[in-house]
Structure 1
């Protein structure tokens, strides 16, 4: 017989779904006092006393992906995808406050000069690629369409020739791995900027949980290596350079931590990219250890949306295929209103 998360709580009066798509300051002290009072009122115990450990992994719940008008807003099919997802996600956190042991938000973290940003590349006219509309292949580099910007090597304190060799190796590795060519993205999730911050309503819910449950939120930084992309929080896209030396490493500590929980619940943005590839990496690790561990992974399908740019690109089918693969492997596709069952 399985147990379930079923002691669902009311949603605190401070939560306003109409402001989830906006940026505002969380009143920490006020919320801290309210969270401690809420815990007493509803007999919520500290997370250290949980008999079953439940982790909520939130992929990149940041303004850059979740607020309209920011760089890479994930609109999904509805056009308001990330906002609608975050309303449901906040409600899920508040309703299940007493059962969620740990919340781990990941944070896409970038600076200007990274291999997937426009400034990294130049054409023969000295122009940078158009972001979100340019993909770079080995053939593009061979034919001279794109080359590494020499000034970037100075900024990164790297020899230009070696940097160019790495960039070619990197683009070739992406193509050979069969995922996709290198996509040049708009500057986004910029460290120190507003876009990098967690969406205010989600931040508030996570903070409220931390105080009510005496459980420190664990923010996981990813994507700050200038020489590789890091869609998945568990592993960068390319681990080795052209000389076989490591340029990045798997997040082994987080992989081991996640697999130690009784239940892992995953939400966030975007379903077709960072969410899907994080889950895929987790599944790869699970298969190497014990395929049955997939049963502890729950995917909040109504708290994540695919990248959709009307008239340009729609990754909905790709996202759905990925989730079907995860379900076939034993992971559970659930909604934020479902009861979450333990193994």
Structure 2
């Protein structure tokens, strides 16, 4: 079936994608309803093929220059350019996308990957983004859990907190995951960095009203004792005592597998996007490996983490996406014809 490609609404200004501003909801809603009438856009519940657009962490903290963890990619403007294309993709395919599911990386200060959680012998916190903590670092006393956070995180049980943290760092190594990275405070709950990029929020809200399809927000990363790159599961599920410290997002996994197609974009290609897709692949392999054919990756709407002169995850991200393609997933661009 030839998909209906729509024009870009007049209100969209690509020059504002890298800025933060307030979405005028009431006007946007009125415009969306009028747009739906003009272009004969039907309510989403009438879709014969149900298509999901899964947007990973399209938030200010990752996507706006000068914010905490801006994903610049190799061009230096990666996330901004990605989101221009993403907004245009949403508007053009407004009549085809059944549901949009944005994930929201969500943090508070006292979490295992933030500076306040750790101290050295001098009582200093690790330098964010430049510090990874290994089991050897803990054994040698280079870094230890800050006793002051135990009251907020472990009901004052410092020994328990140390055991959990030590187990966590070892488990990351055993499972072949990235070592524990101390990140700058980011995606702070209640803060402006936690919010969706304004232009993307506007496009999502426009879709919400035009298709009469409730946007489904999915939170991740609130657990203080584990990182949560993927929306589908945290990095570590069990504590040192074998008891759960976090859970898989089983309801979302089930929901995604029931769509006729799932299109994935967001930030960053090397981290939260890659982890989410990898976890989805694991779940698919346990059910029916042919389901990979209904996964579409918008490669020009995602960028890898690149810190010039420090680290460049471009090659790793590209290799990971190549593996996904070899497993049957589709690597597409936002300008490709959508035959989901």
Q: Same fold (TM over 0.5)?
A: yes
Q: Give 3-state SS (helix, strand or coil) of 1:165's partner.
A: helix
- Rounded to whole Å, the distance in 2 between the matches of 1:293 and 1:244 is 32
* Range 260-269 or range 156-165, more displaced: 156-165
- Rounded to whole Å, the distance in 1 between the matches of 2:226 and 2:338 is 36
**Which 5+ residue runs of structure 2 have no aligned equivalent?**
none
Within 5 A, what are the aligned runs for 1:158-173? 158-173=156-171
Q: Deviations over 1:149-180 (max 9, x none)?
A: 00000122241000000000000000111122
Within 5 A, what are the aligned runs for 1:141-156? 141-156=138-153
**Which of 65, 87, 94 is the aligned partner of 1:90?**
87
- Rounded to whole Å, the distance in 2 between the matches of 1:9 and 1:329 is 32
- Rounded to whole Å, the distance in 2 between the matches of 1:109 and 1:57 is 17
Within 5 A, what are the aligned runs for 1:243-322? 243-322=241-320
- Rounded to whole Å, the distance in 2 between the matches of 1:277 and 1:286 is 14
Q: Does 1:333 align with 2:305?
A: no
Q: Deviations over 1:231-258 (max 9, x none)?
A: 0000000000000000001000000000
Residue 120 of structure 2 corresponds to: 123
- Rounded to whole Å, the distance in 2 between the matches of 1:155 and 1:48 is 44
State how many pairs are aligned: 339
- Rounded to whole Å, the distance in 1 between the matches of 2:24 and 2:178 is 42
Q: CA deviation at 1:340?
A: 2.0
**Which of 101, 104, 112 is the aligned partner of 2:101?**
104
Q: Give 3-state SS (helix, strand or coil) of 1:38's partner.
A: helix
Residue 213 of structure 1 corresponds to: 211
Residue 52 of structure 1 corresponds to: 49
- Rounded to whole Å, the distance in 1 between the matches of 2:339 and 2:37 is 26
Q: Deviations over 1:130-162 (max 9, x none)?
A: 000000000000000000000000122241000
- Rounded to whole Å, the distance in 2 between the matches of 1:180 and 1:216 is 35
Instruction: Find runs of 4+ consecutive structure 1 residues off by over 2 angstroms.
Output: none
Q: Give 3-state SS (helix, strand or coil) of 2:262's partner.
A: strand
- Rounded to whole Å, the distance in 2 between the matches of 1:182 and 1:175 is 9
Q: Deviations over 1:53-82 (max 9, x none)?
A: 000000000000000000000000110000
TM-score normalised by structure 1 residue count:
0.98
Q: CA deviation at 1:94?
A: 0.2
* Range 155-164 or range 53-62, more displaced: 155-164
- Rounded to whole Å, the distance in 2 between the matches of 1:18 and 1:89 is 14
- Considering only aligned residues, what root-mean-square deviation do their CA atoms show, in Å? 0.6
Q: Does 1:182 align with 2:180?
A: yes
Q: Does 1:25 align with 2:22?
A: yes
- Rounded to whole Å, the distance in 2 between the matches of 1:252 and 1:340 is 28
Residue 139 of structure 1 corresponds to: 136
Q: CA deviation at 1:341?
A: 2.0
- Rounded to whole Å, the distance in 2 between the matches of 1:97 and 1:211 is 11
